[in-house]
């Protein structure tokens, strides 16, 4: 590691109450953390809008184009802290910190651009204490170094937890909600709200855990339910469409054919069974419970 990549120190910081705010897109040679204590905001990163609400934050690597935008006219409170590498040996020794908290080594990876996260630890308190000490203009370098390292440790914990069982738990709760409400007009915002995290963060977790986006999973699950009903019930195609969450036969038919490369009617002819309401001896009668309690193997 080069000498310039061994020591780090603060470059800028603030704690602001804002109703509305918009900055120009910019980038700089330092790392930046924006933490929403109260309210909400949008951080545009490399052209992508990232929505943050209370107790969520975004970490930006060096030279990443971004801007902060607040338009909700609320009493928003945002903490900002920026730091970078220096050659000053009196600054915080980053090399020693990495040895204990190896996840921080990602800050040195050029491919690591940014991430946003729900604060599931004490990141807010660490930032508040650090910024408060700096704003008071105190010169206790030893205390400032301790507070700075504490903040980096909390950052490391968030980075580790994001990819651990905590993230998987969020995905599982989202999947459970989707399975219980797939017949409704589901939206990513609503699903994320029920889970209790930011919708953009949930999207990332979904792609990492299941390999698909949220709505792609919803459609996949709906198609599996629809194909089961086509094979094992005498429900009309329009009724099946409504049953699995589509508001028109046309939309359902288009989605089904895109997924299975065959129309619902043709699928039924090839795979369906003729099931009577009152079956005779030797025939199995399909009850409602059989349809809705089908095994969910293959899903979380």
Q: Half-sphere exposure of residue 105, counting CA atoms within 13 Å on the CB side?
A: 9
Domain pair 3-162 / 168-300, same fold: no
Rounded-to-10 torsion of CA 154, 155, 158, 159: -140
**Is CATH 1.10.8.50 what the domain over 3-162 is classified as, yes or no?**
no
| Interval 28-54: pLDDT, tens | 999 999 999 988 889 999 888 988 888
What's the mean pLDDT in 282-287? 32
What's the whole-number average pLDDT of the chain? 82
Q: Compute the distance between CA of residue 56 and CA of residue 47 in angstroms, rounded to an integer.
A: 20
> Which residues lie closer than 8 Å to 80 by C-beta, 6 or more apart?
12, 13, 14, 15, 16, 32, 33, 34, 35
- pLDDT on residue 232: 87
**DSSP letter for each residue of 187-243:** -HHHHHHHHTS-HHHHHHHHHHHHSS-HHHHHHHHHHHHHHHHHHH----HHHHHHH
In Å, the largest CA–CA distance within the chain is 89
pLDDT score at 161: 67
Cα distance between residue 228 and residue 292, in whole Å: 10
Whether residue 194 contacts residue 222, with contact meaning beta carbons closer than 8 Å, is answered with no
Rg (alpha carbons) of the chain, rounded to whole number = 26
The answer to whether the CB of 202 falls within 8 A of the CB of 163 is no
Residue (of 230, 247, 204, 218) closest to 291 by Cα position: 230
Strands 66-70 and 76-86: unpaired
Q: What is the mean pLDDT of residues 73-95?
A: 87
Residue 297, pLDDT > 50, answer no
Please identify, in words, the CATH class of the domain defined by 168-300: mainly alpha
Q: Is 47 left (phi over 0), alpha (psi -120 to 50) or beta?
A: left
Is pLDDT above 80 for 59? yes
Ordered by start, the domain boundaries in the chain are 3-162, 168-300
**Residue 74: φ, ψ to 5°:** -105, 175
- Segment 215-244 shows an average pLDDT of 92
Q: Tens digit of pLDDT for each residue in 177-204?
A: 999 999 999 999 899 888 887 787 788 8
Question: 288 pLDDT band (50/70/90 cuts)?
Answer: very low
- Locate 259 and state its tokens: 């997924």
Q: How confident is the model at residue 5 (pLDDT cuts 50, 70, 90)?
A: low
Per-residue pLDDT tens for 120-162? 668 999 999 999 988 887 678 889 999 999 999 998 888 776 6
The token duo for 41 is 């905001």
Strands 92-93 and 40-45: unpaired
CB burial readout 17-33, b (16+ within 10 A) else e: ebeeeeeeeeebebbbb
Residue 56, number of CB atoms within 10 A of its CB = 23
> What mean pLDDT comes out for the span 245-253?
92
Percent share of the chain, pLDDT over 90: 40
pTM of the model as a whole:
0.57
Report the DSSP beta bridge partners of residue 31: 83
């Amino acid at each position: 590691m080069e000498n310039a990549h061994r020591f780090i120190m603060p470059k800028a910081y603030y704690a602001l109450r804002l109703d509305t705010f918009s900055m120009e897109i910019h980038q700089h040679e330092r790392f930046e953390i924006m933490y929403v204590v109260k309210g909400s905001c949008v951080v545009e990163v490399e052209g992508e809008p990232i929505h943050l609400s209370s107790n969520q934050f975004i970490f930006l690597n060096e030279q990443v184009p971004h801007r902060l935008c607040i338009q909700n006219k609320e009493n928003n409170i945002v903490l900002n802290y920026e730091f970078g590498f220096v050659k000053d040996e009196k600054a915080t020794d980053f090399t020693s910190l990495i040895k204990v908290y190896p996840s921080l080594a990602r800050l040195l990876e050029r491919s690591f651009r940014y991430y946003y996260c729900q604060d599931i630890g004490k990141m807010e308190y660490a930032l508040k204490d650090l910024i408060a000490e700096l704003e008071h203009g105190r010169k206790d370098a030893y205390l400032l170094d301790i507070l700075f390292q504490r903040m980096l440790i909390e950052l490391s914990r968030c980075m580790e937890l994001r990819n651990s069982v905590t993230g998987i738990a969020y995905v599982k709760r989202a999947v459970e909600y989707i399975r219980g409400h797939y017949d409704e007009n589901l939206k990513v915002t609503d699903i994320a709200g029920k889970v209790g995290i930011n919708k953009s963060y949930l999207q990332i977790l979904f792609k990492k855990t299941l390999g698909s986006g949220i709505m792609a999973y919803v459609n996949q699950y709906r198609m599996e339910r629809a194909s089961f009903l086509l094979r094992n019930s005498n429900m009309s195609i329009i009724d099946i469409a409504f049953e699995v969450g589509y508001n028109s036969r046309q939309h359902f038919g288009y989605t089904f054919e895109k997924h299975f490369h065959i129309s619902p009617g043709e699928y039924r002819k090839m795979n369906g069974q003729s099931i009577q309401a009152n079956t005779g001896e030797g025939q199995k009668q399909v009850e409602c419970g059989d349809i809705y309690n089908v095994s969910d193997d293959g899903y979380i």
